[in-house]
Structures are given as structure tokens and as C-alpha cells.
Amino acid sequence: MTANDIPVLENEILQAFDALIPYMPHLFEEEVFFGITDRFRFLRFVPSPNLHPNIHEGDPIPPGDAIYDALRLGQPVTKILPQGLYGVKFKAVGIPIKDKYGQVIGGIGIGRLV
């Protein structure tokens, strides 16, 4: 998948997160990475310099991911993801993003080393 194949973020809330995501790593003292998803796949992914999980834009969100759980529960989920899921063990926070009607339209994820 090339950058031209990445889906356009059509929802204004997802667009707002997409505009902010390049700045987010600067808000943390520790190394973190970020992802934005729709309800099914990663739309954007910003790795940290020394933490490179096997996540690519366009990849489906696998069961077991914190975002996967957050999308289904409609609330934030924090969990330790095993090395087998993305090639590195890390602590993940998945937060559902809802539209103005309260419908879950996507998620944002933050990961850091355990």
C-alpha cells in the first residue's frame, strides 16, 4: 500500500486528530507511537524513533488490540499487548472516537514500552 492508497479521512473529527498526530509525540517525555483508525483499519500510524511495532497504514485492526476492544465497548481500553500481536510487547491505550450522534466512527491509539 502506498501513501496514495491510504483512505481519505472524511469525518471532521478524524481529520482533527489527523492534523494533531504529528505534534503528539512532543507532549510526552517517554517514547510513544500513535495510530488513528476507522472502525476496521489503521488510517494513520506514527511510530516512535526506537519503538517500531509491525503496524502499517491500511492494516486491519486485529482482535486483541486495545483499539479493537475500545471500538466494540465504546470506551477507552488500556492493556498490555503481547509480543506476538505486533512483534513487540507494549502498553496500549485505545480510545473510541464518536461522531456528534454518539456513534463510534474510529479510534485513536497510543503505545509505549512496558
Per-residue pLDDT at 44: 92
Grade residue 42 by pLDDT with cuts at 50, 70 and 90.
very high
Could you tell me which residues come within 8 angstroms of residue 6 by beta carbon, excluding any fewer than 6 positions away? 43, 44, 57, 58
Scanning the chain, the segments in alpha helix (DSSP H) are: 12-20, 66-73, 83-86
What would the pLDDT profile of 60-87 be if each residue is shown by its tens digit?
999 999 999 999 999 999 999 999 999 9
Task: Evaluate whether 18 touches 43 at the Cβ level (below 8 Å).
Answer: yes
Domain boundaries, the chain: 31-97+110-114
The reported pTM is 0.85
The mean per-residue pLDDT over the stretch 39-66 comes to 93
Phi and psi angles of residue 49, each rounded to the nearest 5 degrees, phi first: -60, -35
